[in-house]
Structure 1
Amino acid sequence: MDELHDIVIVGGGLVGSSLAIALDGCGFRVALVEAALPRVSAQPSYDERNLALARASINALQSLGVWAHIDNHATPIERIHISRRGEFGAVHLDAAKLGLPAFGAVLPARELGNALLRRLDECSALDRVVPAKVTGIFPEPDTITLTVQEDGTERRLGTRLLVGADGTESFVRGNAGIEVQRTDYAQSAFVTTLTTERALDGIAYERFTDSGPVALLPLGQHRAGLVLTMPADDADRVAALDDASFLELVHERFGYRAGRLSRPGTRKPYPLARVLANSLTAPRTVLVGNAAQTVHPLGAQGFNLGLRDALSLSELLVQAIQDDADPGSPDLLARYVQRRQPDRDATTSFSDDLVRLMGNEFLPLRVMRSLAFSALDRLPPLKRRVALRGMGFRGDVSARALSR
């Protein structure tokens, strides 16, 4: 006999786990299916991936009880410096001058993953199916049945709502027949950590160049997270560089604002593409996070956007239990789309437009870019508005994201 749930979340990554935590104890029977065995990693890695969390995301993680498990591993982003190599305009954002405590924070992805696992361990009403792999999805009139391989045995889970939080190559999305639009940026990103001669002191840098953007993120003391983007056809050459040659390339692209850079971690290229699902829903199915949209890392919107998906969906589902409503009803799914579409469209379009705009070498456009940067830097009210949008306060903001 099928194990009947109200909601099954497939994918226990950062977004799927956040959604599961938000729904714990809401009154619906919720299952989280995750392929990887949960394990807290205590050993820091010098080449680990780092996340730039928007202020709204931090608020939400505090409300979810996750932030308490992070143990002060986050570094506040208090200032942001945006520039383009070879052009005269630049934008300087200072949270204190704009009346804000901080724009967000930088956190090793490992630490957020650890915090989510610890918080999941506190969830008393959640059915965690792990390690497990979904092998089949079979829609029925009032439910969806999943076949799941767990410890060499097959389980059958029935659910009234299936949530695909299973990443860019989502099995849930493909099984639902939802097609995607793919945009290959012909770029690859190298993500690593390095040491700076001068401490960044809470400054995050975004530096645009002819070869792609470079981001340097503060990690406290003299450590920084680096995202170096370059043409895909040059990625293999860069991957083969030794540390000294790699640092020389970074200095050529970024300059010496942080002094001399040293001790780069291991790195490998990640091909960059935008992948947008043509629909966020199918019968009794909804997509969140990278299953719904995968965006360019420029602007660090990926996880922040996915978390907003999870928050919006959780609020609609909590209201549904209060109204004794079907969590997989067409009406609820339509309201989810209505709520998420403006933010999703604006964020994915902005990211895509920025990649194209900042990479265009047309001379009149270069002049216009510099003038626009200079004008923005002289208009504090506009800078505050831009900052708030970047902090995640846009559209129909979740109540959890507004909490302090």
Structure 2
Amino acid sequence: MPERTEILIVGGGLVGASLAIALDAAGRDAVLVEAAAPRVDAQPSYDERNLALSRASVNGLRALGVWPHAEAQATAIRRVHVSRAGEFGATRLAATEFGVDALGFTLPARELGRALLARLETCTRLLRHAPAALVELAPHADGWRARLRTAAGERELLARLVVGADGTESFVRARLGIEAEVHDYAQTLFVATVTPERAPDGCAYERFADDGPVALLPLAQGRAGLVLTVPAADGERVAALHDEAFLALAQGRFGWRLGRLERAGVRHPYRIRRVAATALTAPRAVLVGNAAQTIHPIGAQGFNLGLRDALTLAELAADAADPGDAALLRAYAARRAEDREGTMAMSHGLVGLACLAEPALAPLRSLALIACDRVPPLKRALAWRGMGFRGAPPRAVLESAG
């Protein structure tokens, strides 16, 4: 006989694990299926990226009991500086302007993964299958029938709600028949750590250029997380550069605001695509995180957006008699619409305008940066959205929740 569960979460990466913890904290039974073993070194999303966590995300992780496991490894972002190479104008944001101690925090993805795994160990309403693979998903009378392949053999589950948290190439999304709109930015992203001559001192820098954005995120001990975007056609050449040449490339793209960049860490390349599901829900099923939308890393909003997906779904499901009810799923899609669409439009628009090699746009781009820096309503709106407070955010991320 198949086992029964209220909620089946497919995918135990950063967003899937967060959702599992949120549901457990809300008192909901759930099953989490993850292809990787439950170890930091086995989970692909617990990698070398340096995540820029918004203030809202930190509030949410604190509410879930995850933040105490990660806080010691995090670095506060107290200021943000945005500019474009070769053009005048800049936007500067400071936490003190908005009455907060930090706009967000940087944290290595592997450390957030470690914190999530530690918190998962304390869950009492959650059943975890890892490593395990979902090999079939078929409609059932009041939900979905899932077939899993585990180390102990195959098993079947009946779930009233299936959650696809299984990433950009989502198996769940495909089985639900939900299409995705794909845009290839023809860019390759490199992440690494560097040591600037002058420490970032809590300031995160984002600099746009014709070849794509480059960012430096503050880390502990004077280090910085480098995010360097290059045209995809140049990706293999950049990957093959020795450290000195790679640092010279990064220096030329970022500039000398922090002095010389030295001591490059291991580089990790990522091909950048925008993959957006055409629907967030199907009968008794829902998509969250990268399965719902994979966006350009400009502005570092990917995980932050996915975490708000997870926390909103957990909030709606907390007291629901039926977590797969059509009305609940409609409410979820409606709650996520403004945040999702606004964040996707922002990231896509910035790539198209801020990085477009069009000299005629230079004065307009510079004036826009100056306006965001000097017009208080614009500046506050930019900061508040950057901190993750857009649309109808889940209660767990609000300031009162922290």
TM-score, normalised to structure 2, is 0.96
What do residues 279-308 of structure 1 show as CA deviations (whole Å, max 9, x unaligned)? 111111100000000000000000000000
State the shift of 1:63 in Å: 0.4
Aligned to 1:51: 51
* Alignment pair present for 1:167 and 2:167: yes
Aligned to 2:105: 105
Which of residues 324, 329, 332 is equivalent to 2:328?
A: 332
Aligned to 2:125: 125
In structure 2, what residue type is equivalent to 1:162? V
Q: Spell out the pairing of 1:22-33 with structure 2 (5 A cutoff).
A: 22-24=22-24, 26-33=26-33
In structure 1, what residue type is equivalent to 2:223? R
SS in 2 for 1:217: strand
The 8 Å contact of residues 19 and 314 in structure 2, kept in 1 or not, is answered as yes
Quickly say closer, same or farther: Cα 1:255–1:27, change in 2 above 3 A. closer
The 8 Å contact of residues 15 and 165 in structure 1, kept in 2 or not, is answered as yes
CA distance in 1, matches of 2:271, 2:287: 23
Aligned to 1:253: 253
Aligned to 1:375: 371
Aligned to 1:209: 209
The 8 Å contact of residues 280 and 292 in structure 1, kept in 2 or not, is answered as yes
CA distance in 2, matches of 1:202, 1:221: 11
Q: Which shows bigger deviation, 243-252 or 138-147?
A: 138-147
Aligned to 2:355: 359
CA distance in 2, matches of 1:71, 1:185: 34
SS in 1 for 2:347: helix
* Alignment pair present for 1:74 and 2:74: yes
State the shift of 1:101 in Å: 1.5
Aligned to 2:300: 300
Aligned to 1:285: 285
* Alignment pair present for 1:153 and 2:149: no
In structure 2, what residue type is equivalent to 1:117? L
Q: Spell out the pairing of 1:180-329 with structure 2 (5 A cutoff).
A: 180-320=180-320, 325-329=321-325
In structure 1, what residue type is equivalent to 2:386? G
CA distance in 1, matches of 2:8, 2:36: 16
CA distance in 1, matches of 2:287, 2:145: 17
CA distance in 1, matches of 2:83, 2:205: 8
The 8 Å contact of residues 23 and 29 in structure 2, kept in 1 or not, is answered as no
The 8 Å contact of residues 201 and 220 in structure 1, kept in 2 or not, is answered as no
The 8 Å contact of residues 338 and 390 in structure 2, kept in 1 or not, is answered as no
In structure 1, what residue type is equivalent to 2:375? L
What do residues 210-254 of structure 1 show as CA deviations (whole Å, max 9, x unaligned)? 111000000022211011001111111111111001111111111
CA distance in 2, matches of 1:78, 1:328: 41
State the shift of 1:21 in Å: 0.4
State the shift of 1:27 in Å: 4.1
The 8 Å contact of residues 200 and 220 in structure 1, kept in 2 or not, is answered as no
The answer for unaligned runs of 5 or more in structure 1 is 42-46
What do residues 368-388 of structure 1 show as CA deviations (whole Å, max 9, x unaligned)? 111121222222342122101
State the shift of 1:181 in Å: 0.2
The 8 Å contact of residues 56 and 389 in structure 2, kept in 1 or not, is answered as yes
* Alignment pair present for 1:391 and 2:387: yes
The 8 Å contact of residues 60 and 400 in structure 1, kept in 2 or not, is answered as yes
TM-score, normalised to structure 1, is 0.95
CA distance in 2, matches of 1:378, 1:368: 15
SS in 2 for 1:96: helix
CA distance in 2, matches of 1:232, 1:52: 24
The answer for unaligned runs of 5 or more in structure 2 is 42-46
Sequence identity, in percent?
A: 59
Q: Which shows bigger deviation, 363-372 or 123-132?
A: 363-372
State the shift of 1:316 in Å: 0.6
In structure 2, what residue type is equivalent to 1:382? L
CA distance in 2, matches of 1:376, 1:40: 40
Q: Which shows bigger deviation, 377-386 or 341-350?
A: 377-386
In structure 2, what residue type is equivalent to 1:391? M
The 8 Å contact of residues 195 and 222 in structure 1, kept in 2 or not, is answered as yes
Aligned to 1:17: 17
In structure 2, what residue type is equivalent to 1:333? L
In structure 2, what residue type is equivalent to 1:292? A
CA distance in 1, matches of 2:363, 2:240: 36
SS in 2 for 1:210: coil
State the shift of 1:255 in Å: 0.8
Number of equivalences: 396
In structure 2, what residue type is equivalent to 1:84? R
The 8 Å contact of residues 48 and 193 in structure 1, kept in 2 or not, is answered as no
The 8 Å contact of residues 49 and 108 in structure 1, kept in 2 or not, is answered as yes
In structure 1, what residue type is equivalent to 2:117? L
